[in-house]
């Protein structure tokens, strides 16, 4: 929104999808016959361990220093509903936090995989379409406390310019950006203008 394209010091684009769309999308990719696109998540590939999905374009140039050898990819994160009511929300935070920490610190790959899949199933407990607040459960606990998004904020996607194309953004993209970043039109200090991923940058 601020740069009308890539942030000069950033290096990727993330996609949010409401949970029903997220699951339908990966099912359609699996059933399709695309020769260049491949999409994976923990349910479509037993060797994939992340709690969000990736879409790869196998035809785009691969650079060895990038973090993936499967082609250029975009991360796709599911948006889930949150429980209503202060007590239910606090209990949800505690349970979710325990499961996430267990998943992170367990040295048993099998147990970690079971907990990760349990978290993914558990994220669907409160249907997206009936929830007032929604969140990506990949977010840290402190983010969830401080940056709650409403389902209406995402609403019906609208298009905004991104370099030479148009991309879909939340209906209330300004409200989302304020919740996430505060004064999002203000440039961060120069010391913070650096990529967050460990990969090679090509000029």
DSSP 23-88: HHHHHHHHHS--SSEEEE-TTT-TT---SSEEEEETTSPP-TTSS-SS-EEEEEEEEEE---SHHH
- For residue 5, what is the DSSP state? S
Tokens of 119: 């978290």
pLDDT at 14: 83
Along the 203 residues of the chain, how does pLDDT read in single tens digits?
999 998 988 877 889 999 999 989 988 887 777 777 888 888 888 778 777 889 888 777 656 655 555 667 889 998 888 887 767 777 767 776 676 666 666 655 666 677 777 777 777 888 899 988 888 866 654 455 556 788 999 999 999 999 999 999 999 999 989 888 889 999 999 988 887 765 554 44
Rounded to 10 deg, the angle between the 109-122 and 86-105 helix axes is 160
Containing 158, the helix (H) or strand (E) segment is: strand 158-162
pLDDT at 67: 53
Torsion of CA 123, 140, 15, 70, to 10 degrees: -100
The SS3 call for residue 11 is coil
- For residue 188, what is the DSSP state? P
Give the span between the Cα atoms of 42 and 47, in whole angstroms: 8
Answer whether 0.85 is exceeded by the pTM. Answer: no
Backbone CA torsion sign across 122, 144, 135, 187: negative
């Amino acid at each position: 929104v601020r740069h009308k394209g890539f942030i000069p010091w950033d290096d990727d684009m993330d996609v949010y999808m409401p949970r029903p769309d997220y699951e339908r999308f990966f099912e359609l990719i699996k059933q399709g016959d695309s020769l260049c696109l491949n999409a994976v998540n923990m349910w479509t590939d037993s060797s994939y361990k992340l709690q969000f999905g990736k879409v790869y374009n196998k035809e785009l140039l691969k650079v060895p220093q990038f973090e993936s050898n499967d082609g250029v990819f975009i991360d796709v994160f599911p948006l889930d509903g949150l429980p209503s009511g202060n007590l239910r929300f606090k209990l949800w935070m505690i349970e979710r936090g325990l499961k996430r920490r267990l998943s992170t610190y367990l040295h048993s790959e099998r147990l970690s995989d079971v907990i990760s899949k349990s978290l993914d199933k558990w994220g669907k407990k409160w249907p997206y379409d009936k929830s007032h607040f929604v969140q990506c459960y990949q977010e840290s606990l402190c983010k969830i406390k401080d940056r709650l998004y409403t389902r209406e904020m995402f609403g019906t996607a609208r298009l905004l310019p991104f370099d030479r194309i148009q991309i879909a953004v939340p209906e209330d993209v300004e409200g989302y950006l304020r919740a996430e970043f505060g004064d999002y039109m203000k440039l961060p200090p120069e010391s913070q203008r650096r990529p967050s991923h460990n990969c090679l940058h090509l000029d």
